[in-house]
Structure 1
Amino acid sequence: MSQPWDADPDAALTRRLGKPPTELGTTGGRDGCPDIWELDNGDIAVIGRDLTAAYRTGLPYDVTVGEGERLVVIPRATLLSAKADLPDA
């Protein structure tokens, strides 16, 4: 069975959504930068801490992290700063 959606590894980062991590104070430099980007195909890339292993056993019954997927965590400020860049529908 094919998946209804799959990530395109050839899609390019085109536009940051929200403020840069340096402006939000969520990074100590270039490394470890939580961020949200729109790709040229309209998909969204999220850069955060991989906490898949920490959350895997406590996920709600209807949540799964599939093979090849990771659960990433970003600061609340990162997502809130992106709100103005996201369409309502």
Structure 2
Amino acid sequence: MARLWEADPSALFVKRLGKSAAELGHSEDEEECPDIWQLDNGDTAVIGRDLTSVYASRLPTGVSIGPGERLVVIPGNMLSAAKVDIPDA
């Protein structure tokens, strides 16, 4: 069965959404930094801590993590800072 949406691995990073982890006080270097980026095809890339195995057994009803998917967590203020760069639907 074909998926209704598939990530395009050829999409390129266009711009950071919000502020960098360093600007928000979540990183002192560039080795381990959560981030949110807009891709050139309009999709969004999120870099965060992989907590898939931690949350897998306690997902809310109707929520699932499919094959090839990972649950990542980023700091709350990072998403709030990105709000100004995220267009309304």
TM-score class, shorter-chain normalisation, is: over 0.9
How big is the alpha-carbon RMSD for the aligned residues of Structure 1 and Structure 2? Answer: 0.6
Identity of aligned residues (%): 57
Could you list the runs of 4 or more consecutive aligned residues of structure 1 that deviate by over 2 angstroms after TM superposition? none
* TM-score, normalised relative to structure 1: 0.97
* TM-score, normalised relative to structure 2: 0.97
Segments of 5+ residues of structure 2 without an aligned counterpart are: none
- 1:21 alignment counterpart: 21
Deviation at 1:88, TM superposition (A): 1.5
Distance 2:65 2:28 in 1: 29
- 1:82 alignment counterpart: 82
Structure 2 counterpart of 1:36, which letter? I
Segments of 5+ residues of structure 1 without an aligned counterpart are: none
Distance 1:43 1:72 in 2: 16
